[in-house]
Amino acid sequence: MGMATDAQFHVLAVDDSNIDRKLIEMLLKTSSFQVTAVDSVSKALDFLGFHEDEHNETITPSVSPNDHHQDVDVNLIITDYCMPGMTGYDLLRKIKESESLKDIPVVIMSSDNIPSRINRCLEEGAEEFFLKPVQLSDVNKLKPHLLKCRAKESQPNINNRNGLEERHSPDRTITSYGGLEVV
Partner 1 sequence: MDVMSQLQRQWLEHSAFLRKEGYLDDQFEQLQKLQDESSPDFVIEVVSIFFDDSEKLLSNMARALEQKVVDFKQVDAHVHQFKGSSASIGAMRVKNVCIEFRNYCEAQNLEECLRCTRKLQFEYSVLKNQLEYLFRLEQQIRAAGG
Residues forming the site for partner 1 (CB under 8 A): 17-20, 22-23, 26-27, 30, 82, 111, 132-133, 135-136
39 burial (CB, 10 Å; 0-12 / 13-18 / 19+) is middle
| Closer residue to partner 1 in complex, CB, 72/136 | 136
- Length of the chain as a residue count: 183
Question: At 59, is the secondary structure helix, strand, or coil?
Answer: coil
- State in angstroms the smallest separation of the CB of 23 from partner 1: 6
Whose CA is closest to 100, among 12, 150, 47, 175? 175
- State in angstroms the smallest separation of the CB of 6 from partner 1: 21
| Closer residue to partner 1 in complex, CB, 22/141 | 22
What are the backbone angles phi and psi of residue 95, rounded to the nearest 5°? Answer: -65, -45
127 burial (CB, 10 Å; 0-12 / 13-18 / 19+) is buried
- State in angstroms the smallest separation of the CB of 42 from partner 1: 19
- State in angstroms the smallest separation of the CB of 21 from partner 1: 9
Strand partners, 13: 37, 78
Whose CA is closest to 81, among 103, 62, 107? 107
| Closer residue to partner 1 in complex, CB, 18/60 | 18
| Closer residue to partner 1 in complex, CB, 20/127 | 20
Query: In degrees, to the nearest 5, what angle opens at C-alpha 138 toward C-alphas 17 and 162?
Result: 115
- State in angstroms the smallest separation of the CB of 72 from partner 1: 24
| Closer residue to partner 1 in complex, CB, 18/62 | 18
